[in-house]
Amino acid sequence: MKAQAKKDFRVHEFIEKRWSPRAYSDKPVSQGKINSLFEAARWAASSRNGQPWRFIYATKENKETYDKIFKVMVEWNQSWAKTAPLLILTIAKTKDEKGRPLGHSMYDLGLALGNLTTQATSEGIFLHHMGGIDPQIARELFDIPENYEAITMIAAGYPGDIANIPADIAAGEYAIQERNPQSEFVFSNKFGE
C-alpha cells in the first residue's frame, strides 16, 4: 500500500487514507457497498436541493453496460482502468426544463462525489476520478438528454497488483501525494494575502 504524505494539520482518517489508485484487485465491490456509495452522494447539499447529479454504473458482472461505460474513457485511461471492478459515469443536469443554465450543478455534483469518495474510503474502497472522457460518446451510448452532460468517470475497487497495468503507469503508482501549502490558497486579508 502507498505511504501516506505527511499532513500539516489533523484531518479525519478517511481523508488521510484516500488516494487514487490505477491498479485494482479482482475483488468485486458488493451491491450493498455500491448502494451505500450512492446513498452518501444522495445526502449531499445542493443548490435549492436540486440534486442535479446522475450516475450510470456497472460492475464487471454486468459486462454489457461495463463495456459501454468503458468506451466513454479516453484510450490512456482505458489502459489502466480495465482492472477496476466498478465503473461510474457521472452526469450533471446543466440546464433546467426551460433551458436556463444551472450555474451550481458542477458544485453540487462535486459535493455529492466528495460524499461518495469519503464513504468509499470508509469501506476500504478506493476511487480514481477521471476527466479524460468523451461526453459525446456518453450521450450517444446512454441517451443522455440535451440538458444533462457527462462530466467524469470513476474507476473503483480495492487496490491491486501494479503488475497488471502498463509499466510506465505502474512506475508512478506509489509516488507520495503532493499538495500546495495552505498559504497558497487560503487568504485572510485580500486575494493572495
Residues in contact with ligand FMN by the rule CB under 6 A: 19-20, 77, 128-132, 152, 177
Instruction: Compute the half-sphere exposure of residue 192: CA atoms within 13 Å on the CB side of its CA.
Output: 0
Cα distance between residue 145 and residue 95, in whole Å: 10
**Shortest Å, Cβ 153 to ligand FMN:** 8
Region for 2 from its dihedrals, namely left if φ exceeds 0, alpha if ψ lies in -120 to 50, beta otherwise: beta
The answer to whether the beta carbons of residues 119 and 136 sit under 8 Å apart is no
**Shortest Å, Cβ 23 to ligand FMN:** 12
**Shortest Å, Cβ 177 to ligand FMN:** 4
Comparison of 64 and 178: residue with beta carbon closer to ligand FMN: 178
Cα distance between residue 161 and residue 170, in whole Å: 9
Comparison of 82 and 129: residue with beta carbon closer to ligand FMN: 129
**Shortest Å, Cβ 190 to ligand FMN:** 28
Comparison of 66 and 126: residue with beta carbon closer to ligand FMN: 126
Residue written as grid cell 461526453:
135
Comparison of 77 and 115: residue with beta carbon closer to ligand FMN: 77
**Shortest Å, Cβ 94 to ligand FMN:** 16
Residue written as grid cell 485511461:
77
Comparison of 15 and 61: residue with beta carbon closer to ligand FMN: 15
- Helix (H), strand (E) at residue 109: helix 105-122
